[in-house]
Chain A
Amino acid sequence: KAGVTQTPRYLIKTRGQQVTLSCSPISGHRSVSWYQQTPGQGLQFLFEYFSETQRNKGNFPGRFSGRQFSNSRSEMNVSTLELGDSALYLCASRSQGLAGTDTQYFGPGTRLTVL
């Protein structure tokens, strides 16, 4: 099976712009989560989508939004970019297996730099 893919891998934007990141989960996985990773902050949960519905949301401002399509692919949008949005954005998918086997599989991430 192909792994989780994310596009683009690198992005450079300027303050005030908006950006859209894309994630394709592992085939058959219906849950897609997004995380922001910054130095010293670990992985901060943004939101999770399951069957095209946002199921969980982290503590991020409304500038961060997402959606999921019927094929489980997901997009994340950040509007009015700020310097502090510079980070690695990771997407993870999971199959919703039994509790003992519930594992998220991560993509390689999109490195966003805001100038």
Chain B
Amino acid sequence: DQQVKQNSPSLSVQEGRISILNCDYTNSMFDYFLWYKKYPAEGPTFLISISSIKDKNEDGRFTVFLNKSAKHLSLHIVPSQPGDSAVYFCAARNGNQFYFGTGTSLTVIP
């Protein structure tokens, strides 16, 4: 049972434009959400996180939005750069366990 879902397997965006990656979850007990970025042949790298008591967290070009009523999480990257091309995973925590989505492959076109 996939409790965290990323319904878009891939996304292509022009350099300089906004990239929006989406994530939906089903478990209302999740209290902490994270985004990871993964390059081929490397492990996922932590990008940004948000607590369930907030609805927005910003870090440079990256902003995460949380809509608890819709059980929806999104990552905005502005402006997108070619180096952002990678697979992005969203994750959610319940207790001591983390649940991951299946990933969205982002390609930023120069």
Contact = CB atoms under 8 A, between A and B. Distances in A.
Interface stretch (A12-20, A62-70, A79-87, A98-106): A98-106
B4 to A, nearest CB: 8
User: Interface size bucket, A side?
Assistant: 20 to 34
User: Interface size bucket, B side?
Assistant: 20 to 34
Interface string B1-39: 010001000000000000000000000000110101000
Interface in A11-37: 31, 33, 35
Interface of B: 2, 6, 31-32, 34, 36, 41-46, 49, 51, 89, 91, 93, 95-103
Given A102-B32, A108-B43, 19 more contacts: A4-B43, A31-B96, A35-B100, A42-B89, A42-B102, A43-B91, A45-B98, A45-B99, A48-B96, A90-B43, A92-B43, A100-B49, A100-B51, A102-B93, A103-B49, A104-B34, A104-B46, A104-B98, A108-B41
